[in-house]
Structures are given as C-alpha cells and as structure tokens.
Amino acid sequence: MAREHVDVLIIGAGLTGVGAACHLREDAPDKTFLILEARGALGGTWDLFRYPGIRSDSDMFTLGYDFRPWTGAQSIVDGSSIREYIHDAAREYDVERHIRFQHKVIRAEWSSESAQWTVFAQRSDTGETAEFTCGFLFCNTGYYNYDEGYTPKFEGVERFGGTVVHPQHWPRDLDYAGKRVVVIGSGATAVTLVPALAGQAAHVTMLQRSPSYVLALPGADALAGRLYDLLPVKVAAPVVRWQHALLTTLLYQFSRRRPGLVKKILRDRVRRQLPPGYDVDTHFAPDYEPWDQRLCIARDADLFRAIRAGTASVVTDRIATFTERGIRLESGQELEADVVVTATGLNLLPVGGTTLVVDSEPVEVGKTVAYKGMMLSGVPNFATTIGYTNASWTLKADLVAHYVIRLLGHMDSRGYRVCTPVPPPGPLPGTPFIDLKSGYVRRSIDNLPRQGDSAPWRLHQNYPRDVLLLRRGAIEDEGITFTRATKNVTA
Ligand SMILES: Cc1cc2nc3c(=O)[nH]c(=O)nc-3n(C[C@H](O)[C@H](O)[C@H](O)COP(=O)(O)OP(=O)(O)OC[C@H]3O[C@@H](n4cnc5c(N)ncnc54)[C@H](O)[C@@H]3O)c2cc1C
C-alpha cells in the first residue's frame, strides 16, 4: 500500500491541531504536514458539544490564537462562535486541504533504523486502514474520550420513565420546553446548562453531590473593547491578551497562596448574588481549596439570576435511586423529572487512545515522564499538547507549537534527525501530568504521564514562566538527547 510521507503529522483537527497547522504554515513553510482527524468535521470540542448554552469559560482573548487575535466585543462566547473562529483560521491559513477527515489514528510505530514514525489510521468512511509516515508526530487529540462521556452507575436508572441524556451526546431534537429537568453535576457544564435550560423548561434543578466554586463574570470586556476602538489591532491585541493572561495567573497564584482569603471573597460574591437567607454554605462553599479543581464561571451571573427568578434551584444531596418518576435522594426527598441530564463529566484519554510503539516496544504512557510539559520520556520525535488547567488552553497550545517549530529548526540546523526526552534520574515521579483533584483526573491517574520535581520535567502551569522556558529557553538540556543517524551525539 502506498504511504504518504510528511515532515510533521498532526493528529486531531480541533482548536489545537488547526492552530498547530497554521503555526507551521506561518513559521516553517518548508515543512510538509497533514492532519489526521477521526471525525468528519474540524473544531473538536467546539463541534462535538451541542448542548444548549455551550460556551467557553475562558476569555476569547486568550482562548483564541496568538496569531489571530480575537477582536469581538464578547469575551466569553458561545461554542458556535469558537467553531466559526477555528473554521476561519483554517480557511485563512489554507489548512483545510491538509486535513484527512474520518481518519482515526489507532497506532503509531517508531523505527530508530529509519528515524520515522509509521502511523495507522482507521477510516470510518471506507473501513480501510490508511498508513502514513512522518519525521515528527504531533499529537493534538485533546484530553478526553470522544466516544463516551462519564456516567456513574445510578441505581434504578432503568426504571425511570423519562429521558436521560449526557451533554456529550445531546440529541438535537430533545424537547425540554415546559418539562421538569434535573441536571446532575456541579462542574462547568452543569453551571452552563442550568441557566440555558431554565429559559424554557418548567423548572431546572441542579443536583450536586458537593458544591463547586462559581464566579460570576461579565460576558463582555469593556476595557478590551475600548482598547480595540482606540488602538490598531496590532498594538491592542498583545496588550489585551497579556492583560487577561496575567490576571488569570495572578488570580491562580493568589488562590494557591491565600486560599482562606480567596474562599471568603468567592463566598461573599456568591452571597451578594442570591436572595437574603439563601444557604450559600451548603450549595456554594466547597470543602476543597480554590483551584484544586477548575473554577466554574457564571456568564453575566446567569446561574444566580435563574435561581433568583425561581426558574432554577440547587439541591445538594446524594442519589439513593432513580424511580419511575424521578430521583430519590438519600435525605428521602424525591425530585420529579421528565428529563435528567448527567453532567457528570468526561473520560480522560491520553494521546487520543493511540497505541504508541517505539522499536517494537509498546509505550506505557503512564510510565513516561513529561518533558517541558509536551514530550514523553523515551518517545522520539513526538510532542503532545495539553493546555493549561488554570488558564486558557490555547495559551499553552500556542507555546507548544512555537516550541516544536523551534525544535525542528534546531535539529535541521545541527543535522539531528532524532530527539528523545529522557526521564529525570531516580525512580518514576508520582505526580501526574494534570495536577487537579477533579474526579475525571483521579479516575485516570494511572494512564497519565508523570511530571518531575524540577525543570525540565516540572509543569509550572504558569504562562509568563513558560514563555521564558519555551520561547527563549535552551533547546538542549539534560532532559533530551539528540541523534544524527542512530548514534547518540549529545546527552
Ligand atoms: C464543554 C467543554 C468546555 C471547555 N471550555 C474550555 C474553556 O473555556 N477554556 C479552556 O481553556 N478549555 C476549555 N475546554 C477544554 C477544551 O477541550 C480546549 O479548550 C480545546 O478545545 C482543546 O482543543 P484540542 O484541539 O486540543 O482538543 P479537542 O477540542 O478535544 O480536539 C481534539 C481533536 O482530535 C481528534 N482526535 C482525538 N483522537 C484522535 C485520534 N486517535 N485520531 C484522529 N483524531 C483524533 C478529535 O476528534 C478532535 O477533533 C473545554 C472542554 C469542554 C469539553
């Protein structure tokens, strides 16, 4: 079978994969590349998720690419606007013709002898397996399983007479107007969905086992709007982006250093949004520290407005069992429902479920150590993008793409063909790559790469620091080896 060969093979045509391709076209136009995408459309998350109200939590000034500034007046925007933004970028940088849709990568084999990857993709249109070869494999598959969201086992769910839906697979024709809806969950998805459904449903109940931190933020950024009015985009865009990046970094750092104070500020802000006497402590005061899990955002305080209006309410309790008519809680209360939405999360899936094989040895991703937060120890000519968990994903994704291009340029200029990260000295570190205490991270902890205690194996989740490390830092250090042919030349 004829194999197409490219310099860089990107897996995934979501926000990151499309961005990586645009970066390549801009900064390494001589490199050939392809994107293999499992689905029939680009956009990833922003095409897959279609539940009512789907939107970003992050501001678009930092969730947008650095090379294509977001200049809209709205800062927190709907999924369809993000999808359109990704499409526009792909069109503008002539990326679309490099995408092979319906190609799900299942296996990638590295050969040190030929210094290249052979990549196998299952075609969902023809059922065939397509093969490709490349010098560098760039995995931009996001972080979760597209086939199935996470739903815990609920007692008695089979006898429930209503409809149960997961936000990852929202039925386009679901009619919830005038219905009683229960949304199970307290994460970003539940916080987005509840006010969006509350407009039409008879009533929406957010049923949570434990509360999350919810911060009300305006959907529009007046200051950014003014800067864009006053200054040329070239000047205003970096100012606005840095302002948002620094603000998020400061909020995160302050939360980690003064958790007690931040807890109090968050709680007071919630209290001001709700009617007097509302039980804030039960429903909005988590027992974890701010940023142990991602902060949920209520755009324009929509969740609180729905609660004030009486169209939505929050119940904090545990599910005893589903019944024919709804859900019985451990407290004995019964919530009657026509529709139950299980906003219970995602299943993490490192490297898009691809089996990586290096010189006939399968790679156990959970036993690798991340190098500079993007490459894996023992895996040559490979990078994977996992965005920030405490700031916009794309701030990191842009840095990773810039770094990969610098790395490829460095290798070309020195005549290197292979780069292989090495783990830090000593036993395998215990800290996972995604250092959040959320359920979806804990469920998959064994499959995630590890991170070390110090650079270049430590993830700092700190944008300004990563700018210095990844845009300016040395390419050669103790964490990576370079090889000209198959012989090791630096350590
Ligand atoms: C509901 C929701 C809201 C979010 N909101 C925010 C937010 O506000 N801010 C933020 O920073 N982050 C947010 N995130 C995280 C979000 O995933 C990132 O913002 C961003 O979309 C990631 O882009 P990506 O391209 O890396 O991954 P994805 O968007 O997940 O795209 C990955 C692509 O890779 C493809 N793929 C996967 N495996 C394979 C394979 N084996 N072969 C071929 N193709 C494959 C997928 O089909 C998909 O098209 C949110 C996530 C969700 C689920």
- Three-class HEC string of 200-267: CCCEEEEEECCCCCEEEECCECHHHHHHHHHCCHHHHHHHHHHHHHHHHHHHHHHHHHCHHHHHHHHH
Please, how many CA atoms are within 13 Å of residue 96, restricted to the half-sphere of its CB? 11
Cα 143 to averaged position of ligand 1 atoms, centre (Å): 7
- Nearest ligand 1 atom, CA 15: 25
Question: How big is the CA angle at 297 (ends 296 and 300), to the nearest 5 degrees?
Answer: 160
Residue 20, ligand 1, Cβ within 6 A: no
Query: SS3 sequence, 148-214?
Result: CCCCCCCCCHHHCCCEEECHHHCCCCCCCCCCEEEEECCCHHHHHHHHHHHCCCCEEEEEECCCCCE
Would you state the structure tokens that stand for residue 311, as one six-digit string? 């169209």
Instruction: Please name the residue whose Cα sits nearest to atom 5 of ligand 1.
Output: 56
Task: Tell me, in angstroms, the distance from the centre of ligand 1 to residue 169's CA.
Answer: 15
> Is there a contact between 345 and 440 (Cβ–Cβ < 8 Å)?
yes
* Total count of residues recorded for the chain: 491
User: Residue 417 C-alpha to ligand 1 middle, in angstroms?
Assistant: 30
Residue 146 Cα to ligand 1 midpoint, Å, equals 9
Q: Are 255 and 405 in contact (CB under 8 A)?
A: no
Please tell me the predicted confidence (pLDDT) of residue 459. 83
DSSP letters of 329-397? Answer: ETTS-EEE-SEEEE-----B-GGGGPEEEETTEEP-GGG-BEETTTEETT-TTEEE----SSS-HHHHH
How many angstroms separate the most distant Cα atoms in the chain?
72
Q: What is the pLDDT of residue 373?
A: 94
Sheet holding 326-329, edge to edge: 319-322, 326-329, 334-336
* Ligand 1 pocket mutation pick from 84, 124, 393 by most atoms within 8 angstroms of CB: 393
The rounded distance, in Å, linking the Cα atoms of 167 and 473 is 41
Pairing of strands 296-299, 214-217: parallel
| 313 backbone dihedrals φ, ψ, rounded to 5° | -145, 165
Q: Is 105 in the pocket of ligand 1 (CB under 6 A)?
A: yes
d(CA 51, CA 61) in angstroms, rounded, equals 23
Substitution site in 15, 36, 37, 45 for ligand 1 pocket (most atoms within 8 Å of beta carbon): 45
Quick check: CB of 16 below 6 Å from ligand 1?
Answer: yes
Per-residue pLDDT at 427: 87
202 Cβ contact list (under 8 Å, min separation 6): 178, 179, 180, 181
Q: Residue 430: its pLDDT value, please? A: 78
* C-alpha–C-alpha distance, residues 101 and 223, integer Å: 40
Question: What pLDDT, on the 0 to 100 scale, is given for residue 1?
Answer: 64
Closest CA to 297 of 251, 350, 240: 251
- The answer to whether 393 and 16 have CB atoms below 8 angstroms apart is yes
For residue 340, the CA-to-ligand 1 centroid distance in Å is 25
Query: What are 436's two structure tokens?
Result: 């959040």
Rounded to the nearest whole angstrom, what is the distance from the C-alpha of residue 307 to the centroid of ligand 1?
A: 30
Residue 135: CB within 6 Å of ligand 1? no
Is the beta carbon of 369 within 6 A of some atom in ligand 1? Answer: no
- Mutate which of 77, 104, 141, 217 for ligand 1? The one with the most ligand atoms within 8 Å of its CB, which is 141
Position 476 scores a pLDDT of 97
Between the CA of 224 and the centroid of ligand 1 the distance, in Å, is 26
The alpha carbon of 367 and the centre of ligand 1 are apart by a number of angstroms equal to 24
Q: How far is the CA of 252 from the centre of ligand 1 (A)?
A: 22
352 Cβ inside 6 Å of ligand 1: yes
Q: What residue owns the CA closest to ligand 1's atom 30?
A: 142
Please indicate whether residue 11, judged by its CB atom, sits closer than 6 Å to ligand 1: yes
Element holding 90 (H helix, E strand): helix 79-92
63 lines ligand 1 (CB under 6 A): yes
- At 427, the amino acid letter reads P
Question: Which uninterrupted H or E stretch holds 19?
Answer: helix 15-27
- The CA-based dihedral angle spanning residues 24, 30, 36, 41, taken in that order and rounded to the nearest 10 degrees: 60
Tell me which amino acid residue 432 is: P
Q: For each of the chain's 491 residues, which pLDDT tens digit applies?
A: 679 999 999 999 999 999 999 999 999 999 999 999 999 999 999 999 999 999 999 999 999 999 999 998 899 999 999 999 999 999 999 999 999 999 999 999 999 999 999 999 999 999 999 999 999 999 999 999 999 999 999 999 999 999 999 999 999 999 999 999 999 999 999 999 999 999 899 999 999 999 999 999 999 999 999 999 999 999 999 999 999 999 999 999 999 999 999 999 999 999 999 999 999 999 999 999 998 888 999 999 999 999 999 999 999 999 999 999 999 999 999 999 999 999 999 999 999 999 999 999 999 999 999 999 999 999 999 999 999 988 999 999 999 999 999 999 999 999 999 999 999 998 888 787 776 666 767 777 788 899 999 999 998 889 999 999 999 999 999 999 999 965 444 43
62 lines ligand 1 (CB under 6 A): no
| Cα 393 to ligand 1 centroid, rounded to whole Å | 9
- The finding on whether 56 has its CB within 6 A of some atom of ligand 1 is yes
Write the DSSP symbol of residue 297. Answer: E
Q: Is the CB of 387 under 6 A from ligand 1?
A: yes
Q: Are 487 and 418 in contact (CB under 8 A)?
A: no
Ligand 1, closest atom to CA 49? 1
Query: To the nearest 10°, the Cα dihedral for 56, 60, 65, 69?
Result: 160
Amino acid at 438: S
14 Cβ inside 6 Å of ligand 1: yes
Residue closest via CA to ligand 1's atom 52 equals 45
For residue 48, how far is its CA from the centre of ligand 1 (angstroms)? 9
pLDDT of residue 489: 42
Please state the atom number of ligand 1 nearest to the C-alpha of residue 62: 11
